[in-house]
Amino acid sequence: MNILTEKFTTPYHAAPFDQIKNEDYFPAFKELIQKSEEEINAIINNPDEPTFENVIEALAYSGEQLDVVSNIFFNLNSAETSDEIQKIAQEVSPILTGYSSKISQNEALFNKIKKVYDEREKYNLNGEQQMLLNETYKGFVRSGALLNEENKEKLKKINMDLSLKSLQFGQNVLASTNNYFKHITNKEDLAGIPEAILEQYAEEAKERNLEGWVVTLQYPSYIPFMTYAENRELRKEIALANGKKSFDGGEFDNQDLIKELLNLKQQKAELLGYTNYAEYVLEERMAKSPTKVIDFLNELLTKAKPYAGKEIEELKSLAKADGIEEMQGYDHAFYAEKLRKAKYDLNDEELKPYFPLNQVQDAVFGLSKQLFGLIFEERNDIPKYHEEVKVYEVFEAGSGKLEDESDHPEKTFKALLYVDYFPRKGKRAGAWMTSYKNQYQKDGENSRPHISIVCNFSKPTKDTPSLLTFQEVTTLFHEFGHALHGMLANTQYPNLSGTSVKWDFVELPSQFLENFCYEPEFLKTFAKHYKTGKVLPDEKIEKIAQSKNFMEGYQTLRQLGFGLLDMNYHTKVEELENKSVKEFEDEYTKAAQLYPANPETAMSPSFSHIFQGGYSAGYYSYKWAEVLDADAFQYFKENGIFNPEIAAKYKILLSSGGTKDPMELYKNFRGSEPKVESLLKRAFG
């Protein structure tokens, strides 16, 4: 018996992590692909007249177990991978891509879909059904259903190559990150670094059976070093190592892979009738066209650059006082922290004791309860993929008083939430939200989602709990915003549920929730010293609120640089025939550069968002969504940040997933379209 092909007998049919063996995956994928193909064949061979129910709905509900197993496997490949899992991923990815192409290019199936689509007027469909029909039809056309057989085969091969090469890109970045560490034996080299961080570095050394301290390129190790280390030469050395990830000509170099990936995407776009890959992607986004995106990014660049320039001049004057005539990128975090401390008398190490992870998590749970009536209860009997993971049942309160945990006579189950907070060798860098199972309704049952948040926060030590930097606090809120989008989902079909929305809309819920971290009224409820229980002093809370826009110009230009680079990669791929990745990167980030470009480093070879993740021709969406979130939060600010009526309207937006056009959803919530001015006002006053 293969545990992955049976109905899970765990609570809520949760993934049975404790029973899965690596050797289960490959046979399970093969069996479930076959089962899913049988479901597709049943739709194709149905002798009845094609209808919305027996074609479109049947297709939407097909392959459920295959989706679940794919989610389990690929989520583990990101959060708890191993050489064995990576090897299986290389074998399984082309099979799954081939299966997906086989369905999307099945002529008999598409003919049935097209017939229902062409006769859609006669079905009296509701809004969600119309959306499902439109998305299904478009999805098949965009996957090559209208191509001739020869071109269908070409597209199938391109998709397979893209799948494997993007997987390889991510594996190279992970290996390149893990391969580097800096062993330091002289404590003087660590001047300026706070004791808690030194303790972390010492623990890392101990794990490697070394004396002294070890700094790695994992963010909880790298960022504090760049922020606090007074030793400029060491800052430079470690920054160079970070900037050379997959860009050193070695085994894990990604430069050739970038060109191969971009050429494949261009070939795919042209096969499907588009000028370039960005045009293909943006057809299915709120932004609609590359021109509109580039105009949007350049408009923000023009407005933000003077502010960014002033910020950098302030830093340069601090650096000059230390004898540094030409400031470099590796000096930025160090002097930004100095300036932040001078301006706001804040530094991360001073604030961290007030933000122990458990308190921050309680705060975001409490906020979700106050705004949306959600309750979180830890479960210890639901399987986990690592001992550090925690699992929560999420309920929606009924008519009981929210203040009284015991009084919820009508609480209803909403979701499972997995949280996985600490770095490990098998976990990729960064933070993300994902799902193991989507929400949907079928046969009168509302099948609820299983959501996961994965981060890389500093581990607790034997004396100290995990203490978060303020940036990590906002990171947790960010990912929790995505999680709310998933947990509150309440749609009919799994492929319109939760975060299954236009890609440049998906960051609204995450970025929106970050705003609460800067509200004194809310901060006072949870910013309490982990030893004394004392609330962070009012003047510090006020300074956090004031510091919200600290280095906003610099951060904006940095994001715009990434967005412009991404958009140019996916509209001007032919230029890479005569340019190196480094030359291309330097040219198209030049307008947003505030420090001299370093000839030895490039960020593109580790730009996983666009070469491994789903942000190809979509990185601009972070800024696009900032316009939405600034405008949305402004609405709350004008009416009270915990306003129950506005929260109820926002909850509808979150629970609606992809059932409506995002602009329609937004206008239903806000009463008008979002205004760029809301972002500019928040950022620059």
SS (H, E, C) 210-276: CCCEEEECCHHHHHHHHHHCCCHHHHHHHHHHHHCCCCCCCCCCCHHHHHHHHHHHHHHHHHCCCCC
Report d(CA 671, CA 543) in Å as an integer. 33
Mean pLDDT of the chain: 94
**Is 15 or 613 the better-scoring residue by pLDDT?**
15
Query: In DSSP terms, which residues pair with 434 in a beta bridge?
Result: 452
Q: What is the pLDDT, as a whole number, of residue 404?
A: 40
Q: What is the pLDDT, as a whole number, of residue 582?
A: 97
Indicate which residue of 393, 479, 519, 626 is catalytic.
479
For residue 323, the tally of other CB atoms under 10 A from its CB is: 7
Categorise residue 18: left if φ over 0, alpha if ψ from -120 to 50, beta otherwise: alpha
How far CA 262 is from CA of 269, 280, 619, in Å, comes to 11, 13, 15
Q: What is the pLDDT, as a whole number, of residue 402?
A: 38
394 close to 487: Cβ distance less than 8 angstroms: yes
What is the tens place of the pLDDT at every residue in 494-542?
A: 999 999 998 889 999 999 999 999 999 999 999 999 999 999 999 999 9
Q: What is the pLDDT, as a whole number, of residue 547?
A: 87
Is residue 381 very low, low, confident or very high in pLDDT (cuts 50, 70, 90)?
Answer: very high
Percent of the chain with pLDDT over 90: 89
Is residue 398 very low, low, confident or very high in pLDDT (cuts 50, 70, 90)?
Answer: confident
Report d(CA 79, CA 455) in Å as an integer. 9
Report d(CA 389, CA 17) in Å as an integer. 11
Percent of the chain with pLDDT over 70: 98
616 close to 290: Cβ distance less than 8 angstroms: no
DSSP character string of 498-509? TT-S-TTTTTHH
Of 612, 579, 531, 677, nearest in space to 175 by CA? 612
247 close to 144: Cβ distance less than 8 angstroms: no
Report d(CA 237, CA 180) in Å as an integer. 11
Q: What is the pLDDT, as a whole number, of residue 463?
A: 87
For residue 2, the tally of other CB atoms under 10 A from its CB is: 15
Domains and CATH numbers, the chain: 3-104+106-146 (1.20.1050.40), 180-243 (no CATH), 353-549 (1.10.1370.40)
- Which SS3 state, helix, strand or coil, does residue 534 take? coil
Q: What is the pLDDT, as a whole number, of residue 676?
A: 85
> Strand pairing of 390-396 and 374-379?
antiparallel
- Measured over the CA atoms of residue 576, residue 582, residue 583 and residue 585, the dihedral's sign is positive
- Range 481-504 average pLDDT: 95
The question of whether 479 is a catalytic residue gets the answer: yes
With residue 679 as reference, give the H or E element that holds it: helix 676-684
Is residue 614 very low, low, confident or very high in pLDDT (cuts 50, 70, 90)?
Answer: confident
What is the tens place of the pLDDT at every residue in 234-290?
A: 999 999 999 999 999 999 999 999 999 999 999 999 999 999 999 999 999 988 999
Is residue 318 very low, low, confident or very high in pLDDT (cuts 50, 70, 90)?
Answer: very high
What is the tens place of the pLDDT at every residue in 405-433?
A: 444 457 899 999 999 999 998 998 889 99
- Range 572-581 average pLDDT: 96
476 close to 360: Cβ distance less than 8 angstroms: yes
- Which SS3 state, helix, strand or coil, does residue 437 take? strand
- Range 319-344 average pLDDT: 94
Report d(CA 621, CA 626) in Å as an integer. 8
Nearest 5°: the CA angle 383, 434, 242 is 110
Q: What is the pLDDT, as a whole number, of residue 409?
A: 56
For the record, the structure tokens of 461 come out as: 């030590």
User: Mean pLDDT lowest for which of 92-96, 159-163, 346-350, 446-450?
Assistant: 346-350
Q: Output the pTM of the full model.
A: 0.83
For 479, counting Cβ atoms within 10 Å of its Cβ (0-12 exposed, 13-18 middle, 19+ buried), the class is: buried
For residue 75, the Cα-to-chain-centroid distance in whole angstroms is 13
Q: What is the pLDDT, as a whole number, of residue 302?
A: 93
